[in-house]
Amino acid sequence: MENKFFVDSEHLSPEMLKRKHELEENPAARTNHMEYMPNMEVIESDVCEMVMSQMKSFDYSQYTARDVRAALDHDTCSVEDFKALLSPAAEPFLEEMAQKARLETSKHFGNTVYLFTPLYIANYCENYCVYCGFNCYNHINRMKLTMEQIEREMQVIADSGMEEILILTGESRAQSDVQYIGEACKLARKYFRMVGIEIYPVNTDEYRYLHECGVDYVTVFQETYDTDKYETLHLLGHKRVWPYRFDAQERALRGGMRGVAFSALLGLSDFRKDALASALHVYYLQRKYPHAEMSLSCPRLRPIINNDKINPLDVGEKQLCQIICAYRIFLPFVGITVSSRESKSFRDGIVKIAATKVSAGVSTGIGDHESKYTGKEAEGTEGDEQFEIDDDRSFEEMYEDMAEEGLQPVLNDYLYV
């Protein structure tokens, strides 16, 4: 992808504006979102077929209160039970679902809650995703941290007491290649016990290289499992290729990663179907790779710079709570992360019920942890954020709040021997 797609401090040229409108208004101008691009690894796997078959046949309107009652009475939650728990018929049972989810969480995780923080090291992007603040046509301040800047950000975060970091970039191989990300991960190993990445999907050998650089786990958002809706939201770039993104976690596991995380961005499409597909993606891969650690994230759409109309589609806090409780009942051993996209009150409540991991001291901008954590001015050295957050508590505040709620904050539970 040529760098002309990086708008930096310049407004869109007439040619770029014309191309943007063409992509938005003319589907024929877009590439086939189900066809692989050159150099994208194709793997043989039956997981996608199983997930999509279940999602496409999921008619949640057919489930009744009797189905929900039966699902809650079963000791083990089947796929059919899980579907019932996601259905509108389960909404009157939310309190009972929460009680069952709380019991499962306590049984497998005790009263622990894990804390981590994300670190964005670049916000250049070659994709045009209409809902994302980093998209290549959005007029924002672009920035890519140097290794010196990355290390300084990591020092500041580590000095706060944090032991787990999630490294993120915009999806640009041109600006943030695998070697650049790998060097950042090597630095992270100096300061943190646990290192995760949330970057563009890569091939198995590249995941293997990143694992050798110190990465423990990989997070990939499928965004939506609805392939038709996906096509209308991702108009340009490698991210447009839906099947390559779907298989990213499996490639990561084949590349030696210890863990993988999954998510749909709830509100992009039918949230009940996306929630079903996300959990089944975990469910089927868990059976194929039983040694792997797996987790689910539960983000909703948030507003972005230059588009204040971006909001979740039909996903209120009540619906989000239903999804998270259903996840816990169906997948009792899986970690569940609730990010700072959600409010303080919601996160404080859901960690007592089903969530096991929350972010703290969060910034979705580039290069601003020193100013955020220490109060030092860093004017002119920061890149714009990907989306707005709701809960902006520091690591120290989050730790104290969790402890006051009777929970045990955990910074790391993995030992290398």
Query: pLDDT of 259-297, one tens digit each?
Result: 999 999 998 999 999 999 999 999 999 999 999 999 999
More confident residue, 303 or 192: 192
The string of pLDDT tens digits covering residues 321-380 is 999 999 999 999 999 999 888 989 999 999 999 999 999 888 767 876 666 666 665 544
pLDDT band at 9 (very low <50, low <70, confident <90, very high): very low
CATH class of the 3-410 domain in this structure: alpha beta
More confident residue, 134 or 121: 121
Structure tokens at 154: 């990591």
**Alpha-helical regions (H) of 6-64:** 14-25, 47-56
Cα dihedral sign, 123-199-232-298: negative
CB contact at 8 A, 30 and 201: no
- pLDDT confidence of residue 3: 36
More confident residue, 27 or 9: 27
Q: How many CA atoms lie within 13 A of 247 on its CB side?
A: 21
- pLDDT confidence of residue 373: 64
The string of pLDDT tens digits covering residues 193-238 is 999 999 999 999 999 999 999 999 999 999 999 999 999 999 999 9
Q: How many CB atoms lie within 10 A of CB 7?
A: 18
The whole-number average pLDDT for the span 306-316 is 62
Query: What rounded mean pLDDT belongs to the chain?
Result: 90
Least confident of 38-42, 66-70, 206-210, 297-301: 297-301
pLDDT at 387 over 70: no
User: 3-class DSSP state for residue 115?
Assistant: strand
What distances in angstroms separate CA 344 from CA 160, 224, 230, 391, one per listed residue?
Answer: 20, 26, 30, 5
- pLDDT confidence of residue 375: 60
Instruction: Indicate the domain borders of the chain.
Output: 3-410
- pLDDT confidence of residue 8: 41
Measured distance CA(318)–CA(337) in Å, rounded? 17
pTM of the model: 0.91
Least confident of 207-216, 234-243, 406-415: 406-415
